[in-house]
Amino acid sequence: MPHLSLTDLSNEWLSLNERFPSDTHQFVLTFFQNNAKMLSERFYEAMLSDSGASKFLSNEDVSQRLGSSMQRWLSGLFASFDQDAIKRLIAEQRKIGEVHARIDLPLHLVLRGARCLKDSFASLVKNEALSGEQRIQAMRFVSDTIDLTMEIMGQAYSISHDRNSRAEEAYRLFAITQNIANEKDQQRAAVLHWENQLMFDQAVGKKGTELPRIQASDFGLWFRHKGVHAFEGSAESTAILDVMDSIDNVLLPLLGTDIEDAESPVQRISLLHDLRDKVRSILFNLDSLFEQNNELESGRDVLTRLLNRKFLPVVLTRQIDQARRQKTSFAVMVLDIDHFKQVNDTYGHQAGDAVLQQLALILVNNSRSGDYLFRLGGEEFLLIAVDMEKSQIKRLADKLRESVARETFRLPEGKTLNVTISAGVACFDNHPDHQRLIRKADDALYQAKSSGRNRVVIA
């Protein structure tokens, strides 16, 4: 069945309103405006009784803001009478449905909330001085209106959820780098680099807690945040994760323990053989994964070879889910080139493209394999820094800014140029909606640019 247009929906809402007398309209409007706080509290009390809702409502900040948003929604639900006002109300319901899809809020929780509101109104309206017919009319008006809002939200939810699902499947199949053979070589080298570093640290007598963890290594970050998504569902991917866990939580503590009896050299050699076997297992499974997957180019910016914004919602949704499950943090950094329009106007668009390409290379060289780099469009870029706290992201942002400021950008015809960047940073605060995180980073970028450029602002 085709989705109803905005005009069709507004006509249906007007028709619904016209089925009920004006005194019913006025009573319901006044009732909801006067009792919005009580209805909101009952709504969230019922929602929190469902274990599935804890993922979305457990954060105190979220709960407080949602409570005030729910009160505004309830107060305005019956306040629109002409077609223009109703169209604005429909647009609001659609936006709510899109947010629900973006944070993957189960549809049954939304419908449970609607049922709770209707039940709450039915129980409260019994105490009002209304005739039996007036009470029935008010209950029908409220029930029909809430049902219609659920249809509109559900329609927007369905469209957005389908779009997100297609993007997620495309991302699962997407080869992480522009050349899968190069990525294979790079990640094999990263594993071997970690092994060599470990052997050196172990030889000089570092303790177990000082030995480098493979899950925190360049390879470990890349595989846990990117590889597992690209190779999702494969036995080899699971095997690599299990081996890394065994290395970090079993082998390394043993290697860092002082063994004082006569057999300690034998035991240590046995542990090192076990470590070598596990590293070989990682490399074997890694080779197998790369052999099974072909490169897909859609989703990569043609000019800079960074990811384009096609997969940004999928990556952020996955990152939020992982951070919430593992109690970790990450940060989003939005940055752009200061006065980039002057570069194009003065030197031409070919020179502007050269600057963008060189900036992309600086960003790649100064970030980690597990991080994500996007070109959002024009001169704007976005970095997702995984497993990173607020104190760490400030150092990284300043490092990027200073690296760009020191660089001499080479333009066509032998010309050179120095440019600077401004950056806005937002750290994950356990809120499930990734759009809010991006907006906070955008706002911080605006502050950085309006306060003089060539600086970093953290939201």
Dist CA 189 CA 283 (whole Å): 10
Q: Is residue 16 one of the residues assigned to a domain? A: yes
Residue indicated by tokens 């356990």: 430
Q: Is residue 175 one of the residues assigned to a domain? A: no
Dist CA 370 CA 218 (whole Å): 7
Q: Give the residues across from 308 on adjacent strands.
A: 375
Dist CA 45 CA 119 (whole Å): 13
| Cβ proximity of 364 and 178 under 8 Å | no
Domain that holds residue 274: 180-292
The count of domains in the chain is 3
Question: Domain check: are 91 and 163 in the same one?
Answer: yes
Question: Domain check: are 287 and 410 in the same one?
Answer: no
Q: Is residue 87 one of the residues assigned to a domain? A: yes
Backbone angles phi, psi at 298, to 5 degrees: -65, 140
Residue indicated by tokens 């194009």: 344
The amino acid occupying position 95 is: K
Q: Is residue 300 one of the residues assigned to a domain? A: no
**DSSP string across 395-446:** HHHHHHHHHHHH--EE-GGG-EE---EEEEEEE--S-S-HHHHHHHHHHHHH
Question: Domain check: are 212 and 270 in the same one?
Answer: yes
Q: What angle do CA 380, 385, 387 make, to 5 degrees?
A: 165
Residue indicated by tokens 């076990």: 274
Question: Domain check: are 151 and 231 in the same one?
Answer: no
Identify the CA nearest to 20 among candidates 147, 134, 151. 134
pTM of the model: 0.56
Question: Domain check: are 407 and 440 in the same one?
Answer: yes
Q: Which of 292, 319, 338 is the last residue of a domain?
A: 292
Dist CA 395 CA 374 (whole Å): 20
Dist CA 77 CA 340 (whole Å): 45
The whole-number pLDDT of residue 60 equals 59
Q: Is residue 298 one of the residues assigned to a domain? A: no
| Cβ proximity of 183 and 176 under 8 Å | yes
Dist CA 262 CA 247 (whole Å): 25
The whole-number pLDDT of residue 430 equals 85
Q: Is residue 255 one of the residues assigned to a domain? A: yes
Question: Domain check: are 357 and 407 in the same one?
Answer: yes
The whole-number pLDDT of residue 207 equals 79
Question: Domain check: are 13 and 115 in the same one?
Answer: yes
Instruction: Output the tens digit of pLDDT for each of the chain's 459 residues.
Output: 345 678 888 889 999 999 999 999 999 999 999 988 888 888 877 777 777 666 666 655 445 667 788 888 888 888 887 888 899 999 998 888 888 877 777 888 888 888 889 999 999 998 888 898 999 999 999 999 999 999 898 888 877 766 666 566 555 545 444 456 677 888 999 999 999 999 888 888 887 788 899 999 999 998 988 888 777 767 788 889 999 999 999 888 888 765 444 446 778 888 888 999 999 999 988 888 877 654 344 567 878 888 888 778 888 888 888 888 888 899 999 999 999 999 989 999 889 999 999 999 899 888 888 888 999 888 999 999 999 888 889 889 999 999 999 999 998 888 899 999 999 999 998 888 888 899 999 999 999 999 999 999 998
Distance of alpha carbon 129 from its chain centroid, rounded?
50
Q: Is residue 299 one of the residues assigned to a domain? A: no
| Cβ proximity of 405 and 417 under 8 Å | no
SS3 per-residue string spanning 32-87:
HHHHHHHHHHHHHHHHHCCHHHHHHHCCHHHHHHHHHHHHHHHHHCCCCCCHHHHH
Reduced to 3 states (helix: H, G, I; strand: E, B; else coil), residue 262 is: coil
Dist CA 76 CA 86 (whole Å): 11
Strand 372-377 vs strand 307-308: parallel, antiparallel, or unpaired? parallel
Question: Domain check: are 61 and 103 in the same one?
Answer: yes
Read off the CATH number of the domain in which 448 is found. Answer: 3.30.70.270
Dist CA 454 CA 168 (whole Å): 35
Output the CA torsion sign for 146, 116, 317, 243.
negative
Distance of alpha carbon 242 from its chain centroid, rounded?
25
Question: Domain check: are 342 and 448 in the same one?
Answer: yes
Question: Domain check: are 164 and 187 in the same one?
Answer: no
Contacts for 426 with CB less than 8 Å, ≥ 6 apart: 331, 332, 437, 438, 440, 441, 444, 458, 459
Question: Domain check: are 191 and 159 in the same one?
Answer: no
Question: Domain check: are 419 and 336 in the same one?
Answer: yes
Q: Which of 292, 317, 343 is the last residue of a domain?
A: 292
Helices (H), 106-179: 107-125, 132-173
Dist CA 92 CA 152 (whole Å): 10
Q: Which of 116, 146, 170 is the last residue of a domain?
A: 170
Q: Is residue 227 one of the residues assigned to a domain? A: yes
